[in-house]
Amino acid sequence: MNYVSINPGTYQAPSTDGFALGIVNGTSAPGFAWITGSCGPATAVASGGLFGYSTAGGTIAVGNSFLLPVPAGQTFSLAANILSGQPATPTIQFFYVGTGNPTAA
């Protein structure tokens, strides 16, 4: 398997099947973001950040991810959404993970 870091956007998958991996990490200060991915009828969503809760008066850092199947040659889209006006911005990463060697004859 091989992988490459990619930015949000729309892509054409190479000549082998693969996966789009999206990661949104928790933060050390209040902040929130969510990421989405789609390919054909499949849609994936993940969110992360630092969330407050009132029962104990504390906060919890939450990170999440998704793994979206991408068939060979199909178009897929990735998007990142960050809640504005927050002290921190969660780290967002996207990768395309190929499951074969597209140059093999």
User: Considering the domain boundaries, does residue 7 fall inside one?
Assistant: yes
Contact 74, 20 (CB under 8 A): no
Residue 45: inside a domain: yes
Domain residues for the domain of 87 are: 2-98
CATH number of the domain to which 64 belongs: 2.60.120
Examine residue 37 and state whether it is found in any structural domain, yes or no.
Answer: yes
Q: What is the DSSP letter of 64?
A: E
Is 105 within a domain?
no
Residue 103 lies in a domain: no
Residue 88 lies in a domain: yes
Domain contains 85: yes
For 46-102, what is each residue's pLDDT tens digit? 999 887 665 666 778 889 999 999 999 999 999 999 998 888 889 999 999 999 765
pTM of the entire structure?
A: 0.86
Through-space distance between the first and last CA atoms of the chain, rounded to whole angstroms:
17
Structure tokens at 94: 């996207």
The count of structural domains within the chain is 1
Report yes or no on 36 lying in a domain: yes
Q: Give, in order, the Cα–Cα distances in Å from 55 to each of 47, 52, 71.
A: 22, 9, 45
4-22 per-position pLDDT tens digit = 999 999 999 988 899 999 9
- Helix (H, G, I), strand (E, B), or coil: what is residue 54? coil
pLDDT (0 to 100) of residue 53: 61
Distance CA 42, CA 64 (A): 18
Tell me, what's the pLDDT at 105?
39
Per-residue tokens: 90: 């969660």
